[in-house]
């Protein structure tokens, strides 16, 4: 594992990339930050593993399509022998997106998209991801989630009534946490679930498909105008903000493009939560999982101010405690729960809300 690093010592990075041009771009981007030093370059998986074994870097950037040993196989071996923070640098293709998401389940910390359509990753984005990843103790992570056999999803004519909405926000470590949380939610839950995970465009669609395959709920990437329904999980698409709207008199999601002047993550947890809070009020449950930064703190404050409930993942089970800590620092957390207990807390909260709604309607 990487050794203890002080502020005086730069972040030591090994770059795994078979394209000479892309390798140069990555190295130049990283070394534009004086606090980062590239200590090794490997053009295939075996070379990367040798470098990690010899140099024990603080972080590795890893391409997916390399000769001799591809990125996923390299990652699995690396994590079993020398657990090290890994940032995947991936092409914007459907095949690469699916493999990149598999890498997150095997221990990669984050994804940075490669050049696509003339738009390359910015040096700042790559530097930010590597800086954040280098401070993570990946030895605490759970890798390779087991396949969950759920069989065919039953279709019933009697869907539960929409009693509440649950908005789950996450960033670094979120894909792994969501793959644990969402399959624990029962199909009959009388709530719609909205997931806001910091993730590049293209990848969110395949992430939603992986959630759908693992869960008894119906998960999909959100589209403009999708109606909120109980038992449905809508994943905010990368590069789009999600907010509450209306379709044929029913609550639905609206998608907005990112304002280039905004420096917030897109999709933004704060944006989504703040949009839903004044309308759903006590019927809104906000959940903040592992992640860097403060996204979700303002949104959870809005939920609390409107009578809703806020649940945070605890420090011990969070890969990165930044986002939950920011919510707790605002005094907005009602419950702080280990990851394995969050689904149960959501169900109890939603059931309580639904019971109150039913009692009110009978009066």
What is the model's pLDDT at position 146?
A: 42
94 included as an active-site residue: no
How far is 354 from 161, CA to CA, in rounded Å?
A: 9
Describe the crossing of helices 322-329 and 297-305 by its angle, rounded to 10 degrees: 40
Give ranges for CATH 3.40.50.180 in the chain: 164-362
Fold of 11-140: Rossmann fold (3.40.50)
pLDDT reported for residue 44: 95
The radius of gyration computed from the CA coordinates of the chain, to the nearest angstrom, equals 21
Torsion of CA 231, 256, 221, 111, to 10 degrees: -130
User: Which among 198, 226, 270, 274 is annotated as catalytic?
Assistant: 198
- Residue 146 burial by Cβ neighbours in a 10 Å radius (0-12, 13-18, 19+): exposed
Those residues whose C-beta lies under 8 Å from the C-beta of residue 139, and which sit 6 or more positions away, are 1, 83
With b for 16 or more beta-carbon neighbours within 10 A and e for fewer, the 214-247 pattern comes to bbbbbbebbeeebbbbbbbbbbbbbebbbbbbee
| 52 burial via Cβ count (<10 Å: 0-12, 13-18, 19+) | buried
SS3 label, residue 21 = helix
Given the residues 90, 96, 134, 171, select the one marked as catalytic. Answer: 171
What is the rounded distance in angstroms from the CA atom of residue 152 to the CA atom of residue 71? Answer: 32
Please name every residue paired with 246 in a beta bridge, in sequence order, or none if there are none. 251
Give the ranges where the chain is alpha helix by DSSP (H).
20-31, 45-55, 71-81, 94-105, 123-134, 174-181, 203-214, 269-280, 297-305, 322-329, 339-362
283 within 8 A of 314, measured Cβ to Cβ: no
Distance (Å, whole) CA 206 – CA 105: 13
Three-state SS at 147: coil
Start and end residues for every CATH 3.40.50.2300 domain found in the chain = 11-140
Known active-site residue 354: no
Name the H helices within 297-363. 297-305, 322-329, 339-362
Does residue 198 have an active-site annotation?
yes
Q: What is the dotted CATH code of the domain comprising 164-362?
A: 3.40.50.180
Percent of the chain topping pLDDT 70: 85
**Each residue's pLDDT tens digit in the chain (363 positions)?**
454 555 578 999 999 999 999 999 999 999 999 999 999 999 999 999 999 999 999 999 999 989 989 899 999 999 999 999 999 998 767 778 889 999 998 899 999 988 644 445 567 889 999 999 999 988 776 554 444 444 455 544 444 568 899 999 999 999 999 999 999 999 999 999 999 999 988 899 999 999 999 999 999 999 999 999 999 999 999 999 999 999 998 999 999 987 655 667 899 999 999 999 999 999 999 999 999 999 999 999 999 999 999 999 999 999 999 999 999 999 999 999 999 999 999 999 999 886 666 555 544
Catalytic site residue from 58, 110, 270, 295: 295
Give dist(CA 216, CA 68) in Å, integer. 38
pTM of structure? 0.86
Cα 180 to Cα 99, 177, 259, 281, 289, distances in angstroms: 19, 5, 32, 27, 11
């Amino acid at each position: 594992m990487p050794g203890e690093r002080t502020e005086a010592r730069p972040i030591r990075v090994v770059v795994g990339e078979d394209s000479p041009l892309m390798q140069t771009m990555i190295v130049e981007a990283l070394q534009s930050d004086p606090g980062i030093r590239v200590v090794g370059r490997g053009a295939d998986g075996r070379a990367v593993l040798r470098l990690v074994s010899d140099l024990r870097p603080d972080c590795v950037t890893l391409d997916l399509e390399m000769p001799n040993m591809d990125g996923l196989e390299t990652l699995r071996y690396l994590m079993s022998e020398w657990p090290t923070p890994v940032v995947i640098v991936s092409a914007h293709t459907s095949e690469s997106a699916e493999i990149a998401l598999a890498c997150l389940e095997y221990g990669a910390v984050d994804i940075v998209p490669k050049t696509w359509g003339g738009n390359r990753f910015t040096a700042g984005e790559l530097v930010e991801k590597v800086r954040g990843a280098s401070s993570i103790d990946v030895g605490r992570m759970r890798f390779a989630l087991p396949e969950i056999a759920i069989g065919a999803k039953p279709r019933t004519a009697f869907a539960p009534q929409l009693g509440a909405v649950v908005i789950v926000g996450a960033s670094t470590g979120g894909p792994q946490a969501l793959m644990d949380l969402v399959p624990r939610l029962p199909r009959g839950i009388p709530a719609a679930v909205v997931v806001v995970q910091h993730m590049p465009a293209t990848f969110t669609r395949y992430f939603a498909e992986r959630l759908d395959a693992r869960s008894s709920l119906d998960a999909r990437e959100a589209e403009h105008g999708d109606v909120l329904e109980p038992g449905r999980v809508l994943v905010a698409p990368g590069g789009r903000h999600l907010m509450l709207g209306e379709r044929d008199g029913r609550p639905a999601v609206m998608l907005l493009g990112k304002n280039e002047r905004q420096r917030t993550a897109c999709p933004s947890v704060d944006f989504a939560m703040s949009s839903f809070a004044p309308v759903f009020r006590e019927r809104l449950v906000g959940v903040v999982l592992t992640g860097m930064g403060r996204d979700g703190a303002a949104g959870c404050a809005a939920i609390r101010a409107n009578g809703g409930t806020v649940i945070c993942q605890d420090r011990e089970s969070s890969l990165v405690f930044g986002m939950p800590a920011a919510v707790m620092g605002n005094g907005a957390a009602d419950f702080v729960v280990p990851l394995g207990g969050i689904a149960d807390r959501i169900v109890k909260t939603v059931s309580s809300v639904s019971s109150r709604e039913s009692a009110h309607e009978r009066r």
